[in-house]
Amino acid sequence: MAVTSAPAEHRLRRDVSRIGLLFISLGSIIGSGWLFGALTAATLAGPAALISWLLGGAVMILLALVHAELGGMFPVAGGSARFPQYAFGALAGFAGGWFAFLGAVTTAPIEVEAGLQYATNYLPGLTRTAGATPVLTPTGYAAAAALMLLFSIVNVLGVRWLSETNKATVWWKIAVPVLTVVVLMAVSFHPGNFHAGGGFMPFGVKGVLVAVTGGGIIFAYQGFEQAIQVGGETRDPQRNIPFAVIGSMVLGVVLYLALQVAFVAALAPADLAQGWAAVAFTGTGEVFGPFAGLAAALGLGWLAFLLYTDAVISPAGTALLYVGTSARLTYALGRQRHIPRVFARVTGRGTPLVAIGFSFLCGMVIFLPFPGWQQLVGFITSATVLAYASAPLALGALRRQVPDRPRPYRLPAAGVLAPLAFVVASEVILFTGWTVVWKLVVAVLVGVVLLALSRATTPPTERPELNWAAGAWLAPYLAGLAGLSYLGSFDTAAPSTVPVLGLAGPRNLLHSGWDLAAVAVLALAVYWLAMRLRLPDDRVREYTGRSTDEAWDLAGAP
């Protein structure tokens, strides 16, 4: 397939409708998370997992509102990689894009792994158990490669194919969990479960907070930003993007709360005799999905079969979307010249072919060190939330730099909500614990190496200025998060004698909320610093004045 030359190489087609854009975000939110989140959250927080879902939903809705304003202002593909650059220059832009890419490029493989893990119920040999964790077999790896290739082909065919294919999948993905809630509540509803097994909050406030990340709640809610990433490919993007971002999060919160209520109430009281931490299902339900195991225990074989079928379709639909999203983030990084320009080329169909191929290859590599779902979920959560965290900073700066730019959606009380959003995103990263954060630190260092290699192999006239001064807040923020995570109390692992990054940890020294307070202080200090270091207003106005659509070029970008 021929690749077009400039200036058409920079144009993406606006083929996604308003509902199609909503379904792209909603389809990403309803993935493998709903199949395991209710059980995992309940084992960590008991019935108070409802508070965890509300808390996680509030955090994500706040971040979604921030993204809604930015996405309406700048309807460009790979927006997560571009908003920080508009406000703080190329160094911050690369960091935001790299964090978002890490979260997106690992999500497609994890959803494929989830689908194959559940499919093993009918197709033995796709996964095996290693250390109580299902991992791919060689046959499963081949099946994963075939699925990733199929999703890549759909993305290459064009964003309209992606949108229409996703629409059909999302209707199914909505119908099955809604049916599950209705059937479980009708067949088995035990209100006493909400104060059984140690009471409503058997593990205290700490359990509620740990469940937000460790229970897969933030992971389940991830995906609202998908409308941002393909924002340059929708009609009337200034209105459609805020509608899709906010609408998908509201629907997602309502659905996940209903699922948690149905799960807790449907359990047999005898299942809670040993407490919430011991809740499990025998047979295939324990390995391949708690809702299916619960349905089987209630004698609802037809529902269990439907859930096992959905457990393949829902993750597959989400993987399809994330192949496209990671490709558009790669495209954005190429447009910004942080990686070779070839990644920014698009085909005659308006699709970033090279970027899609790169996402496919990354997915195949990720399967090797992370052959199971459980081995990836914490890393994806931390990387994605770190990407989210750059948006409130960009919003706060752009409110000062371009106050008169049209904003189809305007975040109320942004002077308070933007720094609050930055604080809560930073707290969520703390909740993941040092055993996850140190891996994120390594991934950030890999990104630094790649940026250095890219600049070393790019002619000086084509290198964007990195704006070191405007992005200087990055170093104390990342170092501070790593240090407080190392000292904090949100890691369930015991202190290790095996050094990681030269440290034996985690230390678990900050208790009684001191780690929460320390992260809040760090985030507020970094927010204040970033506002002081932002790019000059006149330069941002000149820069963002060209970013109304995908036809503008980055030559002369700061």
What does the pLDDT look like over 393-416, one tens digit per residue?
Answer: 999 999 999 998 888 888 889 999
CA distance 464 to 68: 27
CA distance 518 to 508: 14
For range 121-129, the mean pLDDT: 77
User: Which residue is listed with tokens 């993406």?
Assistant: 12
CA distance 422 to 391: 8
CB-based contacts of 22, cutoff 8 Å, min separation 6: 227, 243, 244, 247, 248
Predicted pLDDT at 545: 66
Do residues 369 and 106 make contact, with C-beta atoms less than 8 angstroms apart? no
Work out the angle at residue 139's Cα, subtended by the Cα atoms of residues 134 and 143, and round it to the nearest 5 degrees. 90
- Higher pLDDT: 487 or 214? It is 487
Hey, where are the domains in the chain?
13-456
Residue type, 102: L
CA distance 221 to 103: 13
Structure tokens at 40: 């995992």
| C-alpha closest to that of 46 among 191, 257, 194 | 194
Do residues 268 and 48 make contact, with C-beta atoms less than 8 angstroms apart? no
519: exposed, middle or buried (Cβ count in 10 Å: 0-12, 13-18, 19+): buried
Report strand pairing: 133-136 vs 499-500. unpaired
Predicted pLDDT at 553: 35
Do residues 214 and 430 make contact, with C-beta atoms less than 8 angstroms apart? no
Phi, psi of 14 (to 5 degrees): -95, 80
Mean pLDDT check: name the lowest of 160-174, 291-305, 497-511.
497-511
Structure tokens at 382: 């931390």
Structure tokens at 154: 């759909």
Residue type, 360: F
- Higher pLDDT: 145 or 155? It is 145
User: Which residue is listed with tokens 């459980």?
Assistant: 374
Q: Which residues partner with 130 through β-bridges?
A: 133
Do residues 374 and 39 make contact, with C-beta atoms less than 8 angstroms apart? no
Above 80 in pLDDT, residue 463?
Answer: no
CB-based contacts of 558, cutoff 8 Å, min separation 6: 85, 89, 90, 464, 465, 467, 535, 539, 540, 543
Predicted pLDDT at 35: 79
How many residues are listed for the chain in this entry?
A: 558
For range 142-158, the mean pLDDT: 80
CA distance 195 to 193: 5
Q: Residue 321: pLDDT band by 50, 70, 90 thresholds?
A: confident
| C-alpha closest to that of 102 among 326, 270, 287, 286 | 326
Over residues 196-254, the pLDDT tens digits come to 888 899 988 888 988 887 777 888 898 887 777 666 566 666 677 788 888 889 999 99
Q: Residue 498: pLDDT band by 50, 70, 90 thresholds?
A: very low
Q: Residue 177: pLDDT band by 50, 70, 90 thresholds?
A: very high
Over residues 353-398, the pLDDT tens digits come to 888 888 888 878 777 666 565 656 777 888 888 888 999 999 999 9
C-alpha distance from residue 332 to each of 11, 98, 100, 223, 407 (Å): 12, 10, 11, 18, 22
C-alpha distance from residue 474 to each of 25, 289, 422, 445, 531 (Å): 28, 40, 13, 13, 12
Residue type, 65: L
Percent residues over pLDDT 70 in the chain: 82
Predicted pLDDT at 78: 64
- Crossing angle of helices 377-401 and 537-544, in 10° steps, is 110
CA distance 173 to 539: 45
- Higher pLDDT: 257 or 344? It is 257
Predicted pLDDT at 369: 61
- Higher pLDDT: 233 or 51? It is 51
CA distance 154 to 308: 24
Alpha helices, H only, 74-137: 79-88, 90-119
Task: Name the strand (E) or helix (H) holding 456.
Answer: helix 434-456
Predicted pLDDT at 538: 86
Task: Name the strand (E) or helix (H) holding 388.
Answer: helix 377-401
Predicted pLDDT at 558: 35
Q: Which residues partner with 16 through β-bridges?
A: 234
What DSSP assignment string belongs to 20-79? HHHHHHHHHHSSTHHHHHHHHHHHHHGGGHHHHHHHHHHHHHHHHHHHHHHHHH---TTH
For range 299-314, the mean pLDDT: 86
Predicted pLDDT at 1: 39
Percent residues over pLDDT 90 in the chain: 22
Quick one: how far is CA 34 from the chain centroid?
14
**Architecture (CATH level 2) of domain 13-456:** Up-down Bundle (1.20)
Predicted pLDDT at 548: 44
CA distance 226 to 110: 17
Above 60 in pLDDT, residue 348?
Answer: yes
Do residues 126 and 119 make contact, with C-beta atoms less than 8 angstroms apart? yes
Write down the mean pLDDT value for the chain.
Answer: 80
| C-alpha closest to that of 181 among 34, 66, 319 | 34
Predicted pLDDT at 440: 85
User: Which residue is listed with tokens 């096992």?
Assistant: 308
Structure tokens at 333: 């990084």
Above 60 in pLDDT, residue 350?
Answer: yes
CA distance 508 to 487: 5
For range 47-61, the mean pLDDT: 93
Q: Residue 551: pLDDT band by 50, 70, 90 thresholds?
A: very low
